[in-house]
Structure 1
């Protein structure tokens, strides 16, 4: 180690930012990789973070200041997230947001500055300038190791050189806001450190591991499960420009990862192309595959395991928990298809509406508490009163624990279909319809009904080359479901609408499809 890099490491460890303490891999070990780029080592990443902190301080950005990041997926997005969080508070935003959305998010965050690409001229810049928010330019150093950058902007009044501390907010993210105004979730460095440790322990991550990241880095799944948990284990992460099923197998061959993590729709798109990439699949050395952020159909789990010859670990996470709450186990531990596993970090319980904790086999709301859980939504006392009732954080999910304390999530409470008083879990209907040999994807949802209030509907994508009609699929469901659970309307689509992270969207789907 050079004297300069030793000095950087010393400064970072002495001043105590938890992000730097997490990036603790061996000096020459790879940390950040990307397609057709040389690797940035853990030592190089520590130097980059120290340099970036100095550049931010020189431009008036210091501890507690909020910096929105609007960058495309890739290695610079990963290193910028780490670097900004080490010196200030970071708020990654979806680069696809339009001006009105950016106006809301930047205002709600209280951003002091926004970090954009060197040549960015889109609405992020114009909105920031109109709001009086400073614009920082990230200059990617393409002739240097992956993720290398410098920050340019107009000179400002220098800030104190303090680094962020354990109880400071490291990361600001909004909830999806599907049915209401998005809520702002502040996650402290302590929350992120706890979650990274939980994921690392669950997956038994070590220095030899490498994650192939295809998740967007404006979302908790990619930021914590892929990037932060890898670096905290002294391992490495291969940062792609974002999910692309056509390029996935090329990246798999180049990166030679030991694992990847994704949402179910991504896994399904990968499986659809696996047969055409047989040699790459055969040569892959995956230790496991992880799935999270939406329910993984048991059929998809089985097909993934058969194709890649490794265990598939389904986990359960959410923004307010800095991602992971429960996870199935690596062998020789149990993996239960349809279950998200036992608690994997925080405590998990199932609660009745009156606050009673329920026993195995009883259905109620999933609640959690632990060191990875946010202390509360920002500027939203009413939401906090409801979310933290009875001393636990209420996830808004309905679920049931079995005798092994494995959790089965039966649906979002707000997605449960109320058909004339009969409560129907859309996930239960999904599971049945996925057994039809012609069905590739399905999302069951509530459709307005003038007498019953809600009726059951389903949107379906057929397997390539398969043919099936609405009546055939309804007949299939009728033999496996109680009559009131059988979809009264089935819409066959080429593609089901997805959210920004690739999750299928139930809420609002009836309106999008013009039903009811």
Structure 2
């Protein structure tokens, strides 16, 4: 079994398809391995060694996928969101200690400005006319370092470095080793029964762990192919599906919901391109949406549970049984429940913890966070996920929410996921996110933001009355805000923390 990124690509048929994209020829596995050798030689020629950090700011698509895979075989990759502003790039590039940045040929945006201010080496991906998907050459803008001898990173070197989302505090740096990435790719491929005959239609952003590991790395580990869309667009999804002929795709729940709104008028594509399965991760998939997807695509909907610190996947619903509302069984690392304040494992409801070869060795330069989030028990090192949950009698994990998101209404604890699930049964509601609203006496009150289905009306009173017949009074949202769209983060996830401020319901802290 591969223990580093380079080994993930080895042993697959050189002529089989690796990377595709709209209107492009496929890049073969042989071509991807050749590109890997070329990129490694270029980086060493520019004076970049195995432990140097290379930021990557490229649009979603095949070059972003191939840049990650090839640079990770020679240095430490640090993919960044192409939508950041200059001050954001300046923060992340400096915080990461990046030595170089990879940009598209001709790009002249805020990432370049920040890189120049910090004195970074600027490298360009040059894509020749008619080149297969993902193929590029690297060129340098200006001066580079002294050339270094050829060398490969070790399994213990850092392959990928990402920041946590930092919704409530300064983002933490998460280094993922070559061995972490390889272990997670194998875990995902195994849980999805991936083979070389599979093809993933990737609509996930490739600056995020979900797309990098589940769509790209897991597919490459078995010699499967990835068709790289230029991002997510519900209006273009079914056209891409027809062109790509995938066997599966992976997305976050809000993307699945947007796809469902277009599915009725694209029944012919769904019939023409039967999917083996659909995958959902990065946020809890409402049970109602899982059932709709299963009925619409006539295929299993595999919900998985992941996070950056685990190199993505921790749990996954098995193919022979999917439980709506559960994030599946342990699928790679060992998954247990711990006491929320004491460093010990418990039965029942508590904080979800994990241990395994896919788990980061620890946050970088942050001893306080490491002391808080890691502990030793039963001879193993456990990572605290920050999620609250419990296992049922079948070994399926049910999450009640992020510990920081659990609403404390005058001492009564309310799971926002539970309230979401009830409100989604309302015939007029298409999307919902339940969140905490500060309250002068209770501390926090329950609030919900909802998006109504097209052509259906409902009032705040209708929704609250509906909820009141289905849950205890203290769980019923005291405020319901009806919106055209719920604010989302960079990866399409709806964010509970800070939503009251975003919606102007409280003064910013």
- Assess same fold via TM > 0.5: yes
Measured in 1, the distance between the counterparts of 2:477 and 2:78 equals 41
Q: How many residues align?
A: 498
> After alignment, is 24-33 or 439-448 more displaced?
24-33
Residues 287, 310 of structure 1: 8 Å contact kept: yes
For normalisation by structure 2, the TM-score amounts to 0.96
* Match 1:319 to one of 287, 295, 308: 308
Structural mapping, 1:31-430, within 5 Å? 31-153=18-140, 154-156=142-144, 157-330=146-319, 333-352=320-339, 353-359=341-347, 362-390=348-376, 391-430=381-420
* Match 2:469 to one of 479, 486, 491: 479
Residue 277 (structure 1) shift = 1.2
Measured in 1, the distance between the counterparts of 2:5 and 2:409 equals 48
Q: Does 1:454 align with 2:441?
A: no
> After alignment, is 425-434 or 136-145 more displaced?
136-145
Measured in 1, the distance between the counterparts of 2:504 and 2:192 equals 43
Measured in 2, the distance between the counterparts of 1:354 and 1:384 equals 15
Residues 61, 228 of structure 2: 8 Å contact kept: yes
Deviation per residue, 1:14-40 (Å, 9 max, x gap): xx9822210132110000010111100
Unaligned runs of 5+ in 2: none
* Match 1:502 to one of 477, 492, 501: 492
Measured in 2, the distance between the counterparts of 1:40 and 1:415 equals 44
SS in 2 for 1:313: strand
* Residue matched to 1:9: none
Measured in 2, the distance between the counterparts of 1:103 and 1:285 equals 45
Residue 358 (structure 1) shift = 2.2
Residues 3, 182 of structure 2: 8 Å contact kept: no
* Residue matched to 2:501: 511
Measured in 2, the distance between the counterparts of 1:55 and 1:141 equals 17
SS in 2 for 1:271: helix
Measured in 2, the distance between the counterparts of 1:27 and 1:178 equals 44
Deviation per residue, 1:389-416 (Å, 9 max, x gap): 2431000000011111110011000000
Residue 334 (structure 1) shift = 1.7
Measured in 1, the distance between the counterparts of 2:69 and 2:155 equals 14
Measured in 2, the distance between the counterparts of 1:453 and 1:265 equals 30
Residues 121, 143 of structure 2: 8 Å contact kept: no
Residues 68, 79 of structure 2: 8 Å contact kept: yes
Deviation per residue, 1:44-71 (Å, 9 max, x gap): 1000110111111111112111000000
Measured in 2, the distance between the counterparts of 1:512 and 1:144 equals 44
Unaligned runs of 5+ in 1: 1-12
SS in 2 for 1:340: coil
Measured in 2, the distance between the counterparts of 1:163 and 1:464 equals 54
SS in 2 for 1:389: strand
Measured in 1, the distance between the counterparts of 2:450 and 2:346 equals 35
> After alignment, is 157-166 or 82-91 more displaced?
157-166
SS in 2 for 1:408: strand
SS in 2 for 1:114: strand
For normalisation by structure 1, the TM-score amounts to 0.95
Residue 155 (structure 1) shift = 5.0
CA RMSD of aligned residues (A): 1.2
